[in-house]
Amino acid sequence: MELAGIVLSDNKQGLFVSRLENRVRALGLQNYSDYYRYIHDDVNNYERHHLVDLLTTNETFFFREAAHFEFLRELAKSSAGAFRVWSAACSSGEEAWSVAMTLADALRTGPWEVVGTDISRRVLAKARNAHYAMERIDGIPSAFLKRYCLRGIDREAGTLLVHKMLRERVRFCYSNLLQPRQDLGTFDVIFLRNVMIYFDNDTKLKVVRNLLPYLKNDGFLVTGHAESLTSLNCGLKMLRPTLYQRR
């Protein structure tokens, strides 16, 4: 899909068609041709963003790949100045909040900031709410649960809210990896995990090159374990699997 750069594998196409069929029916349209015209006439792009939601899975959880957060913790402790991290495909926010807890623990009152972006406005709204069902929080260390999370009571029982002290240092905004917004600044670390598996090599190269201007000269890019950049001439060197630094 041109808007998001997503390439659907054969086993994903059936799921997408099923979701799309439900959407066509919900809009009261007769067929896919009607839906195509509906999107074409959508001057506010609302339906195009809804279509992105149909395409994406948004599977994520807290502290996914614990070694990445150990690396982040040690790097932040050795840093000077404000430490900034970009969760570049943040989905519903679990990654960004995991980063925030790690930085708050490592730097305490030191200056730090986390930015989370995604192409799906629906999941961004959930990320901003910072409100999750308790069954989603298994990966959060118990000390962090006590320090940085509030357990819901009464009508909110069975849920968790990320503490205000973290919410004040994390911001979420819309951005497309194919055309990143220009107002983000530069970062010590960019997390781009488990999203490039949906791209072909040309799109992967474009996305990584798009992110390089936002990476500090000694900054790091973190990818998922199912992803590799070694075949791409993208200006990064691999320090170890999933961890890259500017050449």
3-state secondary structure string across the chain: CCCCCCCCCHHHHHHHHHHHHHHHHHCCCCCHHHHHHHHHCCCCCHHHHHHHHHHCCCCCCCCCCHHHHHHHHHHHHCCCCCEEEEECCCCCCHHHHHHHHHHHHHHCCCCEEEEEEECCHHHHHHHHHCEEEHHHCCCCCHHHHHHHEEECCHHHCCEEEECHHHHCCEEEEECECCECCCCCCCEEEEEECCCHHHCCHHHHHHHHHHHHHHEEEEEEEEECCCCCCCCCCCCEEEEECCEEEEC
One domain for residues 104 and 20: no
Least confident of 78-87, 146-155, 231-240: 231-240
pLDDT surpasses 70 at 8: no
Place 143 in a pLDDT band, splitting at 50, 70 and 90.
very high
Write out pLDDT tens, residues 192-204.
998 888 888 899 9
Judge whether 2 lies within some domain: no
pLDDT mean over 60-68: 95
One domain for residues 223 and 150: yes
One domain for residues 21 and 130: no
Judge whether 145 lies within some domain: yes
Token representation of residue 166: 């973290």
Write out pLDDT tens, residues 173-191.
999 999 999 999 999 999 9
| Residues belonging to the active site | 19, 118
pLDDT the model gives residue 49: 65
Residue scoring higher pLDDT (87 or 24): 87
pTM: 0.82
One domain for residues 16 and 124: no
Least confident of 25-34, 89-98, 163-172, 218-227: 25-34
One domain for residues 134 and 183: yes
One domain for residues 80 and 197: yes
Judge whether 61 lies within some domain: no
Residue scoring higher pLDDT (29 or 182): 182
Average pLDDT taken over every residue of the chain? 87
Least confident of 23-37, 172-186, 192-206, 212-226: 23-37
- What is the tally of structural domains in the chain? 2
One domain for residues 15 and 97: no
pLDDT the model gives residue 159: 97
Where in the sequence is the domain holding 41, given as residue range(s)? 10-55
One domain for residues 79 and 36: no
pLDDT the model gives residue 23: 78
Judge whether 3 lies within some domain: no
pLDDT the model gives residue 39: 75
pLDDT surpasses 70 at 125: yes
One domain for residues 46 and 122: no
pLDDT the model gives residue 196: 87
pLDDT surpasses 80 at 48: no
Instruction: Give the domain CATH number at 70.
Output: 3.40.50.150
